Chain A
């Protein structure tokens, strides 16, 4: 039983962290351009 007191909060915390990351990614616009994200890695940044 004492293990549960530790493990359940950990499980919940990890789940909530995942949920928060998902919300952040969505607000940050990471799902706005699904095709473009894959293409952008091919772009060579110009020296400024």
Chain B
């Protein structure tokens, strides 16, 4: 720890962002911020409790591992955030909020002027008010309308239409006509309608974007960056912490027990076992020794290793998975959101109606000016104000409810696709199961030996020792003090307790079984402890609920048939085993070509391509970063129940979205004939627009408890 650094005024300060998933209260903020402020070298520390990110400004002499250790001593687990997750803060949401603010300001002021016109201002006063409204409205439309104009333009360029096309045309046409009215002293100007429309729609857009940001922050603070770097030993024997993208072939990495290997390489020294479950889905650890190749993402279990890097991060085995994912994700980007699907029908209908009213009135001899005004009224009354709010309002309320229930949904499109799923594929290791060993036979340890066992387990970071520690601590066992604790890599921990020799670790009988260890006390016969990778709690219930929802489930795993059969017996699921990432992709492609919409639930790196290819995908919070990034939703906690909960909530959301569409269209059915007959004054347009928007939002609020 380099906590003795002092601040040199000439030195450039660094800013590091750490994820602190455990922080949740005022006490946590105070403890972390004040604790860090006392560390020499730290200039400022601020914890954002919403995104669970800690931003530290510090002298360059403080390192990331050092900061993590400091936060660890304050009692919180911290992880470095990747550049991608930490950056890009000044996002789309900010721009949208700014545009909403401007539109809100303009709408209020124009409404102020409009109200006086409606209440009877005449002649010169009315013309002045119209002109003033125009002066406020035109810059507002130019600034706040940009998101819609851009999106509409890019859709039109590709020969398509979306929700933004009628919005953009409507707003522009109405503004232009109103300007003409204002300049020629006409009786009706619709500036208030155009700006209010923009304001309501921007509120919808902002909600959509805020929801995405919130889920993204939640997910990025979950992502574990254990392989974000490695301790590299230079030729001069000095060690240095390098980020994984800085690792080059030929470098020599020290990999501690419990660390993930940061790049593909060859073992130079040491013998250990490696947990490949994130890479291949295989649950049993593999022995590795000198000369064996190892892959990035592998978890080192038993003993420290020295690994010579053979491939840089970009061309490691991970890169192959990344390539598959890139290809797999293309199908999903073709998904058309429900609002845009609605717009495909809606936009042509609206434009036809407007054109029709123009032509009809012209034929009836109303003159082109009045005809154009009526056509503009039709456009503004049919502009999908409620339609624009119908989807995001429902989705953000449902996503908030799901977030409280422990499911982070990344965006609205994910909720839509989640509601459509009719087939589920589960990975086994880490998805159906917890993906970590759990003690199977606690009762084998006599009551009086448990404190010693706990003390031994606390001395090691081996996964089996941690599992033993967890299950003993759960039962309230208190540990004792041991002397002469030594941990021998690959063998286990031994110590002395009141003169007796006690040990936890491998014994010769168990050499082949990587999921067992033994507890020996002096000369008594050793107690064999067996560990299993248990099913997640609630798995059977969740699968049953999915079946009731009409979703058939099956298993697709890279593990061998034998271990799948033992782990998942009683679930009644069919399983396909020993699958490579490409096999899983093929399976999904086959199911989707049969017309199924596949929900993929997986956690590993090997599931990444399948998660990207599935119609929709979910990953547990314990998943690899690749898994969490590829998935549409991440569920927290051990239980598998949130998967079923998310589907139920997504389907309820879609029901509300459809109701909202019906409300919005129903209002049009009433309002359009009025507009067509030329009876819609700016006052009527304003009332109709705000009325339908409020009803739609109120209906969406019913989803507040959608995930209960």
Contacts and interface: CB of A to CB of B under 8 A. Distances in A.
Contacts, number: 53
B132 A40 contact: no
B101 A19 contact: yes
A15 B109 contact: yes
B25 interface: yes
A23 B98 contact: yes
Interface string B118-142: 0000000100100010001000000
Contact of B48 (A1, A12, A33, A44): A33
Contact of A23 (B25, B89, B101, B113): B101
Interface stretch (B26-34, B70-78, B541-549): B26-34
Interface in A1-48: 1, 4, 8, 11-12, 15-16, 18-19, 22-23, 26, 31-36, 39-40, 42-44, 46
Nearest to A22: B101
A20 to B, nearest CB: 10
B29 A11 contact: no
Given A15-B105, A15-B108, A39-B29, A46 B50 contact: no
A22 B94 CA distance: 12
A12 B105 CA distance: 9
B17 to A, nearest CB: 13
Given A39-B25, A43-B29, A44-B30, A32 B48 contact: yes
A33 B94 CA distance: 14
Given A32-B48, A33-B51, A46-B34, A18 B105 contact: yes
A44 B25 CA distance: 13
Contacts of A11: 109, 112
Contact of A39 (B26, B97, B113, B132): B26
A40 B25 CA distance: 9
B135 to A, nearest CB: 10
Nearest to B106: A15
A36 B109 contact: no
Contacts of B50: 32-36
User: Could you tell me the dominant secondary structure of chain B's interface residues?
Assistant: helix
Nearest to A19: B105
B47 interface: yes
B228 interface: no
Contacts of A12: 109, 136
Contacts of B89: 32
A19 B109 CA distance: 12
A8 B129 CA distance: 10
A40 B27 CA distance: 9
B49 A42 contact: no
A43 B30 contact: yes
A18 B105 CA distance: 8
Contacts of B136: 12
A38 B25 CA distance: 10
B665 interface: no
A15 B128 CA distance: 19
B324 interface: no
Contacts of A26: 94, 97-98, 101
Nearest to A14: B109
Contacts of B47: 36
A42 B109 CA distance: 38
Contacts of B97: 26, 31
A22 B97 CA distance: 10
B29 A40 contact: yes
A28 to B, nearest CB: 12
B645 to A, nearest CB: 23
A23 B102 CA distance: 9
A35 B51 CA distance: 9
Contacts of B29: 36, 39-40, 43
A12 B139 CA distance: 14
A29 B620 CA distance: 31
B413 to A, nearest CB: 24
A46 B109 CA distance: 46
Interface string B9-47: 000000000000000011001100010000000000001
Given A8-B132, A16-B105, A43 B26 contact: yes
B26 A35 contact: no
Nearest to B34: A46
Nearest to B49: A36
A8 B47 CA distance: 44
A1 B29 CA distance: 57
B275 to A, nearest CB: 36
Interface of B: 25-26, 29-30, 34, 47-51, 89, 94, 97-98, 101-102, 105, 108-109, 112-113, 125, 128, 132, 136
Top-7 shortest CB links A-B: A36-B49, A39-B26, A42-B26, A33-B48, A19-B105, A43-B30, A35-B50
6 contacts: A1-B125, A15-B108, A32-B48, A36-B47, A36-B49, A36-B50
Given A12-B109, A36-B50, A44-B30, 7 more contacts: A8-B113, A11-B109, A23-B98, A26-B98, A32-B89, A35-B49, A43-B26
